[in-house]
């Protein structure tokens, strides 16, 4: 039997970063062992057996070999299993508001990923509007529940743990789409929240350059470790290390950069 739970994960995956941030906030980073899985290779048979065929990560295996999936489920498991430093709100109403706030994490993620993966210029404005609609909803919620504050409540908590990894992945929109939140009072509250989330000490597991380089393939329409046309190495490869590669070109609508241009060979 293992002496602690194991999480199988892809290091740059936003969903596993949620669990890393939660552990960090609880001061329990070493309570879980993280085992890296290479997204550019087919999943190993032993892992597929554990997951009963699904490939999405993160996956948690407890000391008895029992398997749990889905980042929000993993977060709740960690929170309940290690209750000493709660991150979720303790008051039932506040906990409910927190839950309401995170109901949009899926649509928010889809809007950002939909925008970065789009290569049809005719759809750029529609994608941008879809993402801004999500930001507008978050702005309204933050303004209503904590008008003068920074976070949804008085500190970086459960809601921020859920959204911050997505806000960080959306650095790919800064680079590939030239996207920035409009400098408009309508987005001022969410902009303040976003800045505080991105700079929080518990959420520094990934860097801007790392996201931009690793997610190049998403920017040309190939997700989850798939190879874009004409390429032989995924931008998610572990070698060469992302630190040794150049910043990718931004002309994603016109062409797909070569392996050499991306520093992959
Ligand atoms: N809803 C899942 C999403 C997990 C997910 O999409 N993980 C991605 C990595 S960021 C993945 O494993 N993709 C590869 C695959 O699905 O085979 C969660 O919250 O855990």
How much is the average pLDDT of 226-254? 96
- Residue 14 CA to ligand 1 center (angstroms) comes to 9
Indicate whether 125 and 42 sit together in one domain. no
Domain that holds residue 69: 6-81
Indicate whether 29 and 113 sit together in one domain. no
In the chain, the number of structural domains is 2
Pocket test for ligand 1, best of 8, 15, 214 (most atoms within 8 A of CB): 15
Q: What is the pLDDT of residue 40?
A: 82
Helix (H, G, I), strand (E, B) or coil at 220: coil
CA-only gyration radius of the chain, Å: 19
Is residue 21 within 8 A of residue 78, CB to CB? The reply is no
Distance from C-alpha of 194 to C-alpha of 142, rounded to nearest angstrom:
11
Question: Phi/psi zone of residue 174: left (φ > 0), alpha (ψ -120 to 50 degrees), beta?
Answer: alpha
> What percent of the chain clears pLDDT 90, i.e. is strictly above it?
96
User: In sequence order, which residues have a C-beta less than 8 Å from that of residue 159 and are 6 or more positions away?
Assistant: 98, 101, 102, 151, 152, 153
Question: Phi/psi zone of residue 217: left (φ > 0), alpha (ψ -120 to 50 degrees), beta?
Answer: alpha
Q: What is the pLDDT of residue 1?
A: 81
Is 67 a member of any domain? Answer: yes
pTM, entire model: 0.97
Measured between its terminal Cα atoms, the distance across the chain in Å is 41
Would the CB of 47 count as within 6 Å of ligand 1? no
Would the CB of 224 count as within 6 Å of ligand 1? yes
Would the CB of 226 count as within 6 Å of ligand 1? no
Distance from C-alpha of 217 to C-alpha of 257, rounded to nearest angstrom:
9
Residue 224 has pLDDT above 90, yes or no: no
Helix (H, G, I), strand (E, B) or coil at 169: helix
Distance from C-alpha of 174 to C-alpha of 185, rounded to nearest angstrom:
20
Indicate whether 40 and 111 sit together in one domain. no
Would the CB of 15 count as within 6 Å of ligand 1? yes
Residue 41 has pLDDT above 90, yes or no: no
Indicate whether 109 and 151 sit together in one domain. yes
Distance from C-alpha of 174 to C-alpha of 208, rounded to nearest angstrom:
10
Here the CATH number for the domain that contains residue 183 is 1.20.1050.10
Would the CB of 10 count as within 6 Å of ligand 1? yes
Residue 13 in tokens = 């995956």
- pLDDT for 57-73, tens place per residue? 999 999 999 999 999 99
- Residue 9 CA to ligand 1 center (angstroms) comes to 9
- Residue 154 CA to ligand 1 center (angstroms) comes to 30
Indicate whether 74 and 100 sit together in one domain. no
Would the CB of 102 count as within 6 Å of ligand 1? no
Name the residue with the closest Cα to ligand 1, atom 1: 70
Helix (H, G, I), strand (E, B) or coil at 68: strand
Atom of ligand 1 nearest to the CA of 225: 14
Is residue 160 within 8 A of residue 89, CB to CB? The reply is no
Distance from C-alpha of 161 to C-alpha of 253, rounded to nearest angstrom:
33
H or E, element range at 89: none
| Among 162, 3, 204, 160, CA closest to 74 | 162
Is 125 a member of any domain? Answer: yes
Which whole-number Å values give the CA distances from 134 to 2, 85, 180, in the listed order? 42, 31, 14
Is 226 a member of any domain? Answer: no
Distance from C-alpha of 225 to C-alpha of 214, rounded to nearest angstrom:
10
Distance from C-alpha of 136 to C-alpha of 104, rounded to nearest angstrom:
12
Name the residue with the closest Cα to ligand 1, atom 16: 56
User: In sequence order, which residues have a C-beta less than 8 Å from that of residue 231 and are 6 or more positions away?
Assistant: 217, 256, 258, 259, 264
- pLDDT for 102-136, tens place per residue? 999 999 999 999 999 999 999 999 999 999 999 99
Residue 2 has pLDDT above 90, yes or no: no
How much is the average pLDDT of 243-257? 97
Indicate whether 72 and 108 sit together in one domain. no
Indicate whether 96 and 196 sit together in one domain. yes
Residue 31 has pLDDT above 90, yes or no: yes
Would the CB of 166 count as within 6 Å of ligand 1? no
């Amino acid at each position: 039997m293992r002496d602690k739970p194991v999480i199988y994960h892809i290091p740059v995956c936003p969903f596993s970063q949620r669990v890393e941030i939660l552990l960090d906030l609880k001061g329990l980073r070493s309570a879980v062992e993280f085992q890296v899985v290479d997204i550019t290779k087919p999943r190993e048979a032993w892992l597929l057996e554990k997951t009963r065929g699904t490939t999405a990560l993160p996956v948690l295996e407890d000391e008895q070999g029992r398997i749990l999936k889905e980042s929000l489920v993993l977060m709740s498991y960690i929170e309940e299993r290690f209750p000493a430093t709660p991150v979720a709100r303790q008051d039932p109403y506040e906990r409910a508001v927190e839950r309401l706030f995170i109901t949009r994490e899926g649509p928010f993620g889809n809007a950002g990923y939909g925008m970065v993966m789009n290569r049809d210029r005719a759809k750029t404005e529609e994608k941008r509007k879809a993402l801004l609609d999500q930001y507008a909803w978050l702005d309204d919620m933050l303004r209503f529940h904590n008008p003068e504050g920074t976070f949804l409540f008085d500190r970086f908590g459960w809601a921020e743990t859920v959204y911050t990894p997505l806000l960080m992945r959306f650095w790919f929109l800064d680079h590939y789409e030239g996207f920035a939140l409009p400098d408009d009072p309508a987005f001022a509250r969410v902009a303040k929240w976003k800045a505080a989330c991105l700079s929080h000490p518990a959420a520094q597991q990934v860097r801007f350059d790392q996201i931009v380089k690793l997610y190049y393939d998403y920017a040309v329409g190939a997700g989850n470790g798939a190879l874009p046309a004409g390429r032989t190495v995924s931008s998610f490869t572990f070698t060469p290390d992302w630190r040794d590669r150049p910043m990718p070109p931004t002309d994603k609508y016109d062409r797909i950069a070569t392996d050499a241009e991306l520093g992959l060979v």
